[in-house]
Structure 1
Amino acid sequence: MVFITEESIKEFQTLMEEIAEPLKKTFQNVHQGYPSGTLIRFLKARDGNVSKAHKMLVDSLNWRIQNEIDDILTKPIIPTDLYRGLRDSYLMGMSGYSKEGLPVIAIGVGLSMFDKASIHYYIQSHIQMNEYRDRVILPSATKKFGRHISTCIKVLDMTGLKLSALNHIKITTVLSTIDDQNYPEKTDTYFIVNAPYIFSACWKVVRPLLQERTRKKVQVLSGSGRDELLKIMDYASLPHFCKKEGSSSSRYSRNGTYDDCFSLDHSFHEQLYNYTKEQAKLLEADALIKQGSFHVDFPEPDPEGAKIAQTIETEFQRLGNQNGVSNSLRGIKINAD
């Protein structure tokens, strides 16, 4: 476990006082009034090494300036049908809050297809959700719960995970690298639910490659994880794919009776989308609204991330090459009756 000392924080603060003014300006959007907390996050991401943490943060601030990240919430993805297609093919949303006030972010890993638009739109949408979380959701939670809240909980639904997930490994690696390099230590716990055999087999291989602090954050729950998750959040905050009991937990309908937190019609996405349109109007950004996707430079994955991605790909291929496994996995359903 990394222990961050007061001395290292002060040393980091001194280094940040020397950065250029444009970097200081974008740093304000990052720390949202809690600069020390941000320094601690980057220190944790670099195992307490001040020099490496400083380089990581400065690189991230430069990335924000070069890619105009501070303005990304003024650039809605239009038309609405295109954005709806993104939401239907990249399943991610917010279902509520934990009992401690942490936002609950739901991700449909197994059923996300990333097939409705170019990679640039998915990256734009992903970063917009990150920025909306950090600039709107977390400050609001901090005010509501009366304490500084800077992290979230993520519930990853593995329903429908198949060998075809290899087709998405490039874009998922890009998205995870963006998070690792520019939004470190923003997730308190990752809960894996509805995990099929293919995930379990890969997890055994990938888990030892993760850093200890990351391994401790990941919890693989039985079935839909409903009972375990209810210990830390109310029923209303459960992602829709966790609300059923028993072995049929994964057989939910995305248009059924449960509140689909992935859909554009969910309150979280409606509020986020309306927020970006309102911000565009406030800045008289009509010209920007008419433009195409918002291009962000693809980050290069660090060696550790590249190794993990390669390991996942190799393990998927190994499973697919086993006699009889490929055919059975193509039609696998999590916890099927």
Structure 2
Amino acid sequence: MVTVSPEAVTQFQALMDQVDEPLKITFQNIHRGYPTETLVRFLKARDGNVSKAHKMLMDCLHWRVQNEIDKILSKPIVPTELYRAVRDSQLIGMSGYSREGLPVFAVGVGLSTFDKASVHCYVQSHIQINEYRDRVILPSASAKHGRPITTCVKVLDMTGLKLSALSQIKLLTIISTVDDLNYPEKTNTYYIVNVPYIFSACWKVVKPLLQERTRKKIQVLQGSGRDELLKIMDFESLPHFCRREDSGSSRSSENKNCFSLDHPFHQQLYNYIKQQSLISEPIQPVKQGSFHVDLPEPAAEGTEIAKTIESELHKIENRNGLTQSLDDV
């Protein structure tokens, strides 16, 4: 675990005090009143090195300004049918809070198909969820508990993971790179559940490639992970795929399915973005596909991991013959 010294934070703060607008404004949108905690996150991401952390944060601020990230929550993905298609194929949602007050985000890794919209729509949606988490969810949780809450918990469901996931690796690497470079250290713990053989095989070769601080955050749980997760959250906050009646399936009915556009979290998010769009652009509606974010070049670590996963999946495919027979495992 990286230990950040008070001296490093002081040096970092002195460097950031020299930043002029518009970078100062977007930095305020990042820290939301908790600048020290934000500096610590970037320092942890660069192993406590002030110079490297400063460069990372400055690159992040420039990226935000160049791509108008501060305005992204006023740029709805329209029409609604397109956004529903994104939600049906990019399975992510918020199921509740841990007992410590951390938001619990669920991700349907295995059943996400990413085949109903453009890459830009998926990246835009992912960044919007990040920004809504950081600007609305986390500040609200901090106010409720009277202390800074700046991270979340993620539960990753591997149900349905198939060799066809090979086609998603490039997009997933792009999204992961966006997070690594611009939203570092925002996840406290990753819980991985409903693990099939394919994941287990890949995990063995990918795990050694991860940085130590990342490895320590990842816990692979048995089965649906229900019993372990109930140690840190109430039943009502469990993602639907971790509940006994729903375990083994990332898709569920009613409002329990936090991936669905009909879930309260997504309804609140979508309504918030629509309201913000009316404030910023009350006359001209946003055209479909009008908002693009520059896609980053995957970092060396991310590229290596993606190549390793591809290689391992190909090995599995070759050992077992036809892809279709593996997809049924």
TM over 0.5: yes
Please give the secondary structure, in 2, of the residue aligned with 1:155. Answer: strand
Q: 1:52 to 1:251 in 2, by over 3 A?
A: closer
The AA in structure 1 aligned to 2:209 is L
Q: Is the 8 A contact 1:120 1:293 kept in 2?
A: no
In the TM superposition, what is the alpha-carbon distance from 1:115 to its structure 2 partner? 0.8
Does 2:13 align with 1:13? yes
Q: Is the 8 A contact 1:96 1:236 kept in 2?
A: yes
In the TM superposition, what is the alpha-carbon distance from 1:288 to its structure 2 partner? 5.0
Matches within 5 A, 1:1-337: 1-244=1-244, 249-251=247-249, 253-255=251-253, 259-287=256-284, 289-324=286-321, 326-332=323-329
The AA in structure 1 aligned to 2:248 is S
Following TM superposition, the consecutive aligned residue runs of length 4 or more in structure 1 with deviations greater than 6 angstroms are none
Deviates more, 1:175-184 or 1:12-21: 12-21
Please give the secondary structure, in 2, of the residue aligned with 1:289. Answer: coil
Deviates more, 1:218-227 or 1:294-303: 294-303
Distance 2:99 2:310 in 1: 37
Q: Deviations over 1:288-334 (max 9, x none)?
A: 523524100011111111111111111111111104474442112xx
Structure 1: any 5+ residue segments left out of the alignment? 333-337
Q: Deviations over 1:256-282 (max 9, x none)?
A: x67100000000000000000111112
The AA in structure 1 aligned to 2:45 is A
Q: Is the 8 A contact 1:124 1:295 kept in 2?
A: yes
Distance 2:13 2:282 in 1: 35
In the TM superposition, what is the alpha-carbon distance from 1:120 to its structure 2 partner? 0.6
Distance 2:282 2:65 in 1: 18
Structure 2: any 5+ residue segments left out of the alignment? none
Distance 1:27 1:252 in 2: 36
Q: 1:323 to 1:117 in 2, by over 3 A?
A: closer
Q: 1:285 to 1:173 in 2, by over 3 A?
A: farther
In the TM superposition, what is the alpha-carbon distance from 1:287 to its structure 2 partner? 2.3
Distance 1:215 1:324 in 2: 32
Deviates more, 1:17-26 or 1:172-181: 17-26
Distance 2:273 2:324 in 1: 44
The TM-score, its normalising length taken from structure 1, stands at: 0.95
Distance 1:253 1:47 in 2: 39
Q: 1:252 to 1:69 in 2, by over 3 A?
A: closer
Distance 1:288 1:60 in 2: 29
Q: Is the 8 A contact 1:193 1:225 kept in 2?
A: yes
Q: 1:102 to 1:202 in 2, by over 3 A?
A: same
Q: Is the 8 A contact 2:138 2:150 kept in 1?
A: yes
Q: Deviations over 1:227-251 (max 9, x none)?
A: 0000000000000000016xx8214
The root-mean-square deviation of aligned C-alpha atoms, in Å, is 1.4
Q: How many residue pairs align between the two structures?
A: 329
Distance 2:282 2:182 in 1: 26
The AA in structure 2 aligned to 1:198 is I
Distance 2:79 2:288 in 1: 11
In the TM superposition, what is the alpha-carbon distance from 1:32 to its structure 2 partner? 0.3
Q: Is the 8 A contact 1:99 1:232 kept in 2?
A: yes
Q: 1:263 to 1:39 in 2, by over 3 A?
A: same
Please give the secondary structure, in 1, of the residue aligned with 2:247. Answer: coil
Give the share of equivalent positions with the same residue, in percent.
68
Q: Deviations over 1:63-105 (max 9, x none)?
A: 0000000000011111111100000000000000000000000
